A and B are shown apart, each in its own frame.
Chain A
Amino acid sequence: MLSKFYTNLGGFMTIKDVTYTALFTALIIVLGVFPPISIAILPVPLVIQNFGVLLAAMILGPKRGTLSVFIFLVLVALGLPFLTGGRGGFGVFFGATSGYLIAWLGMPLVIGLVRRLFGQSDKWYATFASLIVGGISFADIIGSVGISLVSSIPYFKALSSNIVFLPGDLVKVVLTLIIYQRVKKHI
């Protein structure tokens, strides 16, 4: 089973897949350098790096997007300071926010799945729904598991604390939608 999966993964990859995946990994890294944008009405600042993950999911699709995020997380795990704020190393995977990093890995798959349900439509409501489900709900659900496990907090208490991130996440979804609509003609 694993062997078959890996064979398909390697066998179906073209050189263009390799370069696209690599460049998007580099893009996620670069976006991590930009400082979060603080906005008075939002309780937490907008982290630009999240756009990289969302855009990788939208543009690369589920397979290459997941691979792109996976390699990014591997580089972070190896100690390179590629998360926003210069964080990196295995330590980030043991902190309370480790669940969100794992959720990043699954986001391209979930977004791809929802888009398939809409028949791969590029209509705004289809991409909006996929970003809401894959980009926000999935991340919060998995991220809360991380908080719950690391800190011994009841799960639903951790989940409800994610409300503070909702306004910023919605802004990110709308902006990602706008960017994707403009970029898709170049794909």
Chain B
Amino acid sequence: MDRFLLGQYIYGNSYVHRLDPRAKLLGTFAFIILIFLANNFWTYGVIVLFTLFAAYMTKISAKIYWQGLRPMLWLMIFTVTLQILFTSGGDIYLKWGIITISQYGIINSIFILVRLSTIIFMSTILTITTPPMLIADAFASLLKPLKKVKFPVDQFSMICSIALRFVPTLMETATKIMNAQRARGASFNDGNIIKRIKSIIPMLIPLLINSMKIAIDLAESMTARNYQLGEPRTQFRRLRWHKTDLYVLYYFAILTLLLIVLRRF
């Protein structure tokens, strides 16, 4: 539980940790777009190299990255298996009913595996070197151009901040509720089928009502402190850009050039 409360952030003093979170966020977004430029082994190789170099720069052990990859393993295996079994083209290695194992399917599954893995790696780099609240701040900051089309950026930003702030609170509340119900005989992971299904209700209803009470109390507190939607406000937490943050943009610019050149082979 404690590990979840802190998200995935791991304290460090590497160059990547000190980057402006907006630079890291832009880099991650750029990477996700760039990865679709990859179409052959050369381009996928370049993407893997760039990903590994970025991971190396964080100075965080490989074990942490494996932990980031592990929850996604089922999804990756599922997606790749579907690709292998149901894609046809090139040499056919096995044909059995609707199942086909082909050269094209295997190559495509390797590409999908690399694509998913590197996207997960880049996301992991972002989340282990940046606290969740800073990620939300960076995203809200990058949304500012949308004010031109009157997108409610401030409300969006406020909702993100409040949601992240209250995750630990609700987690603690949920734990207390579950323990209280256990003290009254509820069983969440053992006992017969009906009992376990019914145990969901006494857990969710108090959690729901508690959430709604917090929402009402919080709205009253914000109103009492003169918070007004849509009015200009100052910011206490500010993000500052430094020259070293430009290196991230150069990094992805080089990656773009390499991908554009190599994809023609």
Contacts and interface: CB of A to CB of B under 8 A. Distances in A.
Interface string B194-208: 001100110011011
Nearest to B3: A86
A186 interface: yes
Interface stretch (B43-51, B72-80, B232-240): B72-80
A96 B78 contact: yes
Contacts of A94: 115-116, 119
Contacts of B119: 89-91, 94
Interface residues of B, number: 74
Interface residues of A, number: 70
Interface string A144-187: 00010011110001000000000000010001001100110011
A43 interface: no
A71 B160 contact: yes
Contacts, number: 217
B127 A81 contact: yes
B152 interface: yes
A96 B76 CA distance: 8
The 5 closest A-B pairs by CB, nearest first: A89-B123, A10-B152, A22-B162, A151-B82, A25-B163
Interface of A: 2-3, 6-7, 9-11, 13-16, 18-27, 29-30, 33-35, 37, 39-41, 46, 48, 51, 55, 59, 67, 71-72, 74-75, 78-81, 85-92, 94-97, 147, 150-153, 157, 171, 175, 178-179, 182-183, 186-187
21 contacts: A2-B149, A9-B152, A10-B152, A16-B219, A18-B155, A18-B159, A18-B229, A23-B211, A23-B218, A27-B207, A33-B171, A59-B212, A71-B156, A78-B127, A78-B135, A78-B139, A80-B7, A80-B135, A81-B71, A89-B72, A96-B82
